[in-house]
A and B are shown apart, each in its own frame.
Chain A
Amino acid sequence: MILEMNNIEKHFGELEVLKDISFGVDSGEVVSIIGPSGSGKSTLLRCATFLETIDGGEIIYMGEKAAHTDANGNAVYVSHQEMRKFRKYCGLVFQQFNLFPHYSILKNIIDAPMHVQQISKDEAEATAMELLGKMGIADKANAYPYQLSGGQQQRVAIARALAMKPEILFFDEPTSALDPELTGEVLKVIRQLAEEKMTMVVVTHEMPFAKAVSNRVLFMDGGVIVEQGDPRDVFDNPKEERTKQFLRVFER
């Protein structure tokens, strides 16, 4: 198991966003999370990547506990120092790309490896150029984010995350901010990563993509996992009424 999240609880004030969520991700697995907006998908991803703190449950990466619930029922995280190790395990690709506008494409990708992981400039650049080649945008290395299309920016964001060599890569609706014609180029890259057995968790509204690429689908609604399983089962023979109802919307 790369990641285990057990009995995760998260609330914003009175609002319970995640209710006793448990799931795990194996090495090389691609998990898609689908569900209506407000179902807690993004929050789950943000908890997994430590952008949000959980209120209960445990987060385990590579068999090591990053957070657990203590005897008093409070979620406790490892020390600030130890946290750095856990952050290194996971990468996140945002819906809004969040590239650094003042850095060139190349610098966007090499800055964190150089200044967070202390990798030499030559090595970081070699890795970055290889990744940009893979993303089909090696010619953009010296451009700035504003000069790129949304699809290109998102591919840079994927390269930036991969340059940190994470064990698992999370995608938070990676194509939701893109025109339909740009969506394809980003999905193609994710598909290619799946073929290379990159461990990934993708929150998405692209149902055909989720069905084709993932090994497992999670359907979330109201802060719980309503149904999960093989994508063919979930999409073609959903067991739960709520799942059927949700998928029907996409058939129209």
Chain B
Amino acid sequence: MTFATMLSTMAEGMLKTFLIFTLTLVGSLPLGMIVALLRKSRFAVVRGFIRGYISIIRGTPLMLQLLVWYFGPYYLFGINIGGWRFPAIIVGFVVNYAAYFAEIYRGGIESIPVGQYEAAEVLGYTKTQTFMRIILPQVIKIIMPSVTNEVITLVKDTSLAFTLAYQEVFSLAKQIAASQTSFMPFVIAGVFYFVANYIVEIAMNRIEKSMDYYK
């Protein structure tokens, strides 16, 4: 197998990796916010449920969670879902990352001084307006470095999809390396992850810079 064929075979895997990455972010960034807000719900049952969810997600390996999402429906409920492999991966990643993002959001929300809420309340802002106009913009600035960390981890975590035999970059690299007895696929995969994260770094830096106009 020439280098060019290797590269073009792996390019498909890169596309799939990118798909996992994008869908996970699109799902978990907003879901994390909902989870963070529910964690402060006035209903104790809801708060307890959310705390349990975060605790379990953070306390078990993502690899195991992916297996549970994929095989769980059959082994637990005897249901066979056709074409469940890819959805199971996305659900597993989204549910996992939402828990981490929720904790980052919570930290950000709790670091906003109470005076900001009081000033908004006295000025007559509704609760929603206060959150959307006053609190959230400040939270986003505060949490940006932690979110960057998480996004970089996600780029690398996508490789866990190999657990469910999904043909993303890492799975392909392993297969090709074995069949061709070549080290090259690992080098290609390594460069791919590094370049992807380099782009993430630059993009996140830009976003952080754009919020530098205030302190």
Contact = CB atoms under 8 A, between A and B. Distances in A.
B215 A116 contact: no
Interface in B7-29: none
Interface of A: 49-51, 84, 87-88, 90-92, 94, 96, 98-102, 111-112, 115-117, 144-146, 160-161, 164
A86 B119 CA distance: 16
B142 to A, nearest CB: 11
B138 A112 contact: no
Contacts of A84: 124
Interface residues of B, number: 19
Contacts of B125: 112, 115-116
Given A116-B129, A145-B214, A98 B118 contact: yes
Nearest to A88: B124
B116 interface: yes
A108 to B, nearest CB: 9
A102 B123 contact: no
Contacts of A90: 122
Which secondary structure dominates chain B's binding surface? helix
Contacts of A51: 118, 121-122
Contacts, number: 58
Contacts of B119: 94, 98-100
B118 A102 contact: no
Contact of B122 (A49, A96, A102, A144): A49
Contacts of B200: none
A116 B122 contact: no
17 contacts: A49-B122, A50-B121, A87-B121, A88-B124, A91-B122, A94-B115, A94-B118, A96-B115, A100-B119, A101-B138, A101-B215, A112-B123, A115-B133, A117-B124, A146-B214, A161-B122, A161-B123
Contacts of A146: 214-215
Contacts of A92: 122
Contacts of A144: 213-215
B148 to A, nearest CB: 19
Most chain A beta-carbon neighbours within 10 Å: one of B116, B119, B123, B124: B123
Contact of A102 (B115, B124, B138): B138
B215 A98 contact: no
Interface string B161-187: 000000000000000000000000000
